[in-house]
Structure 1
């Protein structure tokens, strides 16, 4: 039984795949610890270490909205300092140091943000897997490495010095230094845009939600009219116009607005739109006429699996890239912010499209990504001994001559 420590940050689309990955690895007989945000403690039954309090997580999420400021008035260093992320990084490293069993521990982290698993892997000599949940994390690695090596470099160097590690002089090279890189999306999605480097093992999509959940009061009645679903995910890192544009685009149609933050709900809501803080998308997605969403990887995966038409109002983070890949394959309508006034027309178009089912890829198993990632991580835990190299005929002949000569010289 190998001890596996998983570290992830973000909201449902970033954290819940790691919850499922931990459950998959535990079912295979491994000892699992998940290190993440406090509110997710009650959403998993794994050994859990919180990196913050619920109040700190709420403040952190509220602050992410400033990262959508494209005018350059916010900075990543300021974001890290305001939210104590360098101290959090050090705490995460100490958690892994305490959990480490020499020769019997694997560290797994969310690509780019879970720098701690890479630092701890260096310090402890433990194998490390970095798991990307969307292609943009790989595409933006050079930019992230530049930022880490410039704006954030002095603070990272300070953390590494406290751990007894040397300063990183080549962040680009360091970013490519994990023992295993995993991408939680399929090959066909990868080929629809910028390709991941060959070192990445692409295992397939990984939806955040997989279990059955009870529908909240009023949801069954609202679903009876086959409404449109509106969702911007569970975070706050959104264009401030997103919900307003989505609601306006659904004018005159029954719709379910799913947003956990009440202050983001447009007021007043039209009478045909019903607000829910949360809905189980596994049950809901097959029962809606279409979904208007932000382009999050978990939402689009669930919509693809259900064969639900999609309109993507994508802005920021991984969303425009995700949306462009879907649009290129004819699997969604994508509108950048400048065209959000066309949402109603785009929604009418996807609802009238009768060819979507014929364009859907065949490999849409929502559990494939998690199962494949777990198998690869298990190989890190139990590496196969290197095979004896295969000799060419010329090498075999030379070896026989050498052995024959050695036998004559030393009878």
Structure 2
């Protein structure tokens, strides 16, 4: 361990979500282990091979089938998604006692908990056992305040409205959104002897120290430093461009002009209409396509030899040989395209995806098509627009991403967050009043 690092610790990463949530955190976990810390990971069974390959301890908190039973339900990708995940049988609900059991088995060793914000079992256990807990922040929309409103309500006209309007609007919106989860969470907390949560936004997003896995140039979080929020850098899954691709994929890439890559997320199995429209747009424009999805349900029944489907692809290798990326707006996928200077078309479903897409658009790196299913004509027009994007912003962003320090920067920020005195998990908000002014 380097002399600048703090004392060796025992860290437990509790990670709930899709690959886009788990993979960046594993990069941070590896950096922590490389610095001499003991690191274990509690997540879903499908990630066990990757966790163990990094030399990290592993605890299964659910099967792939349980996880996909929620995520493959189209309702999850709507405003009802979090309620579905917390309902009986939902993946967030099932994970709570399992996570608590893992943490209870090691509580005498006083692990530091590093978790996704929806890992409620970890949050509860931190309060019960007085453990330090740090929540991971993946995208700007996860930190909404009256001063930090997401797309589409962040335009110049809306920003000109008085601050009291935003405070009232956010509180009102929460009543019909996030606050509807509070009764269920309080019901789960009561048998544990934990006090009821009074304001869910404050507790969920500002109730523990937070580590953002993206840099200040993408979204500056300095105004939230008083609320315990710190900032690291992008942590990408794919950075090795020397990986040897399988013969089928390599042959396709070599067989013609750079293809359009289309991938709509590792947790979305109901995207067949979108893939079908992309296939039609490719045929209309004479382009080749590479569809990356693990779900057979997503693939159109018929498509020509100009399209190849694979379950998985190393985006660092593939995007540098692609003409365009079409994706769902996950911040990790968007950042992979920025790193490759590959133009993007974002087709958002829900959650933070439209806000991420708007940021990509404002950076000059792509465009976004909103709505249920874009038609082939709209996609073809967007392809033409992306093909005409100036190269200078794309190249500037590529250099910016590649000059970042990734997981190492995030680990150093985590070390700073854990400097004594540690901040233990608490059932009340630690959000500063300034954030709401």
Scaled by the length of structure 1, what TM-score is found? 0.82
Partner Cα separation in structure 1 for residue 327 and residue 99 of structure 2: 33
1:371 aligned residue (388, 408, 431)? 408
**Structure with max Cα Rg:** 1
Deviations 1:260-297 (A, max 9, x none): 10111112113211111111112111111111111111
Which among 246, 249, 265 is matched to residue 216 of structure 1? 246
* Residue 215 (structure 1) shift: 1.7
1:134 alignment partner, one of 123, 139, 151: 139
Q: How does 1:173-188 map to 2 (within 5 A)?
A: 173-188=202-217
**Which residue number in structure 1 is paired with residue 68 of structure 2?**
58
Superimposed CA distance per residue, residues 158-177 of structure 1 (whole angstroms, 9 cap, x where no aligned partner): 33233232222333432354
Among 317, 334, 339, the alignment partner of 2:351 is 317
How far did residue 35 of structure 1 move?
0.9
Residue 34 (structure 1) shift: 0.7
Determine which structure has greater relative contact order: mean sequence separation of CA pairs < 8 Å that are 6+ residues apart, divided by chain length: 2
Which residue of structure 1 lines up, in the alignment, with residue 433 of structure 2?
none
Worse-matched range after superposition: 311-320 or 360-369: 360-369
Look up the match of 2:5.
none
Listed one character per residue, the Cα deviations across residues 180-228 of structure 1 (whole Å, up to 9, x for unaligned) are: 211112222216xx99734432212121234564423311111112211
| Partner in structure 2 of residue 289 of structure 1 | 323
Structure 1 pair 176–231 and aligned structure 2 pair: CA distance change class (3 A): closer
Check if 1:351 corresponds to 2:387: yes
SS of 2:267 mapped into structure 1: coil
**Contact 1:106–1:380 (8 Å) recurs in 2:** no
Residue of structure 2 in register with 1:360 after alignment: 397
Q: Does 1:107 align with 2:113?
A: yes
Partner Cα separation in structure 2 for residue 190 and residue 279 of structure 1: 28
Equivalent residues of 2:28, 2:235 under 8 A apart = no
Q: Partner residue of 1:121?
A: 126
How much does 1:18 deviate?
A: 1.4
Cα contact 2:272–2:297 (8 A) shared by 1: no
Deviation at 1:60, TM superposition (A): 2.8
Structure-2 separation of matches of 1:13 and 1:258: 15
- Residue of structure 2 equivalent to 1:19: 26
Contact persistence 2:14–2:41 (CA under 8 A):
yes
Q: Is the 8 A contact 2:114 2:134 kept in 1?
A: yes
Matched, 1:269 2:303: yes
Task: Judge conservation of contact 1:238–1:315 (CA < 8 Å) in 2.
Answer: no
In the alignment of these two chains, the number of paired residues is: 378
- Segments of 5+ residues of structure 2 without an aligned counterpart are 1-7, 150-169, 423-437
